[in-house]
Structure 1
Amino acid sequence: MRNSTCLLQPSLATTVALPVIYSFLFPAGSFGNILAAWIFSRQAPTKRTQHIYLVNLVTANLLICCTMPFLAAYFARGYQWPYESVLCRMVNHLGTLIMHISMYVTIIILCSTALSQYATLKKNSDTQYSQAFNETFNRCVLQKFRQPKFAKYFCIIIWIMVLCITVIAITYNVQSMATEEFRRCYNLRVEADEFSTKMAASLATACFFLSFMMVLWSYCSLTRHLSKIQKNTCIGEKHLIYRTVKRNILVIQMILIICFLPYHIFRPIFYVLLTNSDCPMLNYLVEIKNFLTCVAVAKSSLDPVIILLPDKTFKKSLYGLFTKSTAEHHKREAGIFSERTLKM
């Protein structure tokens, strides 16, 4: 890289704002996702396709939350760490590896969740609606996303594929950087990556936009169908489920737009502008990339609210746990009161 001699000078936005944000996101995301994982393990039925996707989503969120303390420490003190230090290696290799794997597993699972709900409606919809689509695609591809067995194997394959691509890219990057000497952990080669990581990033960006377009397609198709129903007949109780699924797909679409789209639009621009030899400009580009990454990572802390709470089974399980604990508390207090009364 021609501009590898440029020394990055992080601003207060990087050394103060980012560590504070990650410090707030870590406890909030950890608590929400641990609570969700506990409820799923004890209450929610795991054989439903929807909950297979949600369990994998919660797992990916927890892994991202585990990297937040390391990211906070890196942005707060990374410019002071020696590159050969253990902390620097842990953050740049292990932390980055876990974060990117979990991020793209999350994106693919969000897309799978939307397609699963959309496929369920397609199967239960009327004949006129079914005839408007390619039945071969519906039967061979789309309906697979609503099958629990397919969902399990699909999630396993996604984890393995994303893991392999990320490990290969980072391993190659580590070997190439071992031939050069760096004084500080926070440097341009670490932030800008090497050729192999750029190739992996290109594949990941393509994967994101494919997932984004699939969710957008399912939302637009469902919206068109609802508008046809409203023109011809009144939407009865049978069709209220369409609105619920439309809302859920819209939530997933908004997550992709707000949290992930800015990051994936900027990343190709970032790599193109890296050829510039203007060091101050490179500093700004790196800081913009890091803040957009923070926005994408923040999604894992918001999932228990925006993804899990709309799920009826999850809400019932959560409500049941609290009402059960409250009932046991009142029962215990009544028992203590009875014992005291008998003694008197």
Structure 2
Amino acid sequence: MNLQPTSVPYLSTTAFNGDQNHTNGTDCPQQYDWEWLHTGQPVYILIITVVGIVFNVFVLGVFCFHKKACTVAEIYLSNLAAADLILVACLPFWAVYISNGFNWPFGLFMCKVVNLGIKVNSYSSIYFLVLVSIDRYVALVHTMSHARMRRPKYAKLGCLLMWGFGLLLSVPTIIFRRVKYFPEYGVNACFLDYPNVTAGLFFDGILIVFSFIIPILFISFCTIKIIQALKIQAIERFNAQNTERKATNLMLAVLLAFLICWVPFHMVTALDVLLRADILGGCHLESVLDICNQISTYLAFFNSVLNPILYVIVGKNFRKKACELFQHWKIRKNPNYESSRSSNLSATLKTSV
């Protein structure tokens, strides 16, 4: 199973993963009407694209153009916003692909690039959350002993390594993505052409392990320690820095949103791997997983829109930065504003004297 919508309405996901000898058309009859799903997909994708681009550009604008340098946590969150922006920028191609009857009109190069952007997001975004969790863990649990680790230059280096790691894990997308005409379905499909079923199972297993299991273990450990530290501070009536608490609340909110949006996708992916490994079986299960794949994939995409909303709702420091930035732009746009304000102040002082 892929992170991208790769199935046609009447073709099993396994066919576009390289196992072209086993499809719904040969082994299992089509049990569900896909029309309702694929009619709404392009509209949903375009909405996600527009809202996601506007929101994530707004977040990056606040972080990049504010006069104060970003904190370590903000460096991680800005990179997360950049990853989300790359994802939503790739989605319009899939909207056209689906509305075009699953005919890929953009050529082999764009087939690889678009899917590479989506795949890099799937790997990098979770590891930016890992970095945020580690930062909150160090800030609240090891406040003094590891303070040296919480420096912007180390945060930037960590983000660079995570981008590189995400790109490295996405290499199979560059190698195995193909555009091929399927005469039995009448479509030019952009699909993952693995050499055999074993290769497909292996790379899907890597996706589950490296983009979910391992990072979730890190995040869970850090989150448990953070919550314990906050409880101890509350019992001892120890007031941690307000900034650290606000950043921690935002991190927990972003993490919860990630779990809600991504856990269904990884569960469906795991079940699909078991299905293709012949550990599970049945036409009904295969058909249900095909539909669940589509739904869970687009729920995962929604996370890229939800993150910037959480910055505004939960992130008090972010809202403060945004207001300060807008105020600064207002003053620059109206240069007479400050002078008139000073004149009014001077007149008031003279009158009062």
Q: Is the 8 A contact 1:166 1:200 kept in 2?
A: no
Q: Could you tell me which of 22, 26, 29 is aligned with 1:4?
A: 22
Q: Do the aligned partners of 2:177 and 2:193 also contact (CA within 8 Å) in 1?
A: no
* 77 and 24 in structure 1: CA distance in 2 versus 1, 3 angstrom threshold: same
Q: 2:221 aligns with which of 203, 217, 223?
A: 217
| C-alpha deviation, 1:63, in angstroms | 0.5
Q: CA deviation at 1:112?
A: 0.8
Q: CA RMSD in A?
A: 3.6
Residues 260-301 of structure 1, C-alpha deviations (whole Å, 9 max, x = no match): 111112201012224578666534322211211111111111
Q: 1:122 — aligned with what?
A: 141
Map of 1:273 onto structure 2: 275
% identical aligned pairs: 18
Paired amino acid for 1:294: Y
Give 1:317's aligned residue.
321
Judged with a 3 Å threshold, the aligned counterparts in structure 2 of structure 1 residues 187 and 269 are, in CA distance, closer, same or farther, namely farther
State the TM-score, normalized to the length of structure 1.
Answer: 0.75
Once the two structures are TM-superposed, the CA of residue 42 in structure 1 deviates from its matched residue by: 1.5
Match of 1:34 among 46, 57, 65: 57
Task: Name the residue aligned to 1:93.
Answer: 112
Relative to its length, the structure with more helix (as a share) is 1
Relative to 1, partners in 2 of residues 1:106 and 1:63: Cα closer, same or farther, differing over 3 Å? same
Deviation at 1:246, TM superposition (A): 4.3
Give 2:7's aligned residue.
none
User: Are 2:305 and 1:301 equivalent residues in the alignment?
Assistant: yes
CA contact (8 A) 2:181 2:188 kept: no
- Counterpart residue identity of residue 252, structure 2: L
Deviation for aligned residue 1:173: 5.3
Structure 2 length-normalised TM: 0.74
Q: What corresponds to 1:72 in structure 2?
A: 95
CA spacing shift, 1:279–1:70, aligned 2, 3 Å: farther
Question: Is residue 177 of structure 2 the alignment partner of residue 160 of structure 1?
Answer: no
CA–CA distance in structure 2, aligned partners of residues 195 and 178 of structure 1: 21
Supply the distance in 1 between the matched residues of 2:323 and 2:35 (Cα, whole angstroms): 43
1:188 and 1:6 mapped to 2: Cα distance?
A: 16
- Alignment check: 8 A CA contact 1:44 1:313 kept: no
Q: Is 1:107 aligned with 2:126?
A: yes
- Bigger relative CO (Cα 8 Å, ≥ 6 apart): 1
Aligned counterparts of 1:239 and 1:158: Cα–Cα separation in 2: 29
Letter in 2 for 1:6: N
* Distance in 2 of aligned mates of 1:171 and 1:10: 33
Q: Using the alignment, how far apart are the partners of 2:78 and 2:221 within structure 1?
A: 25
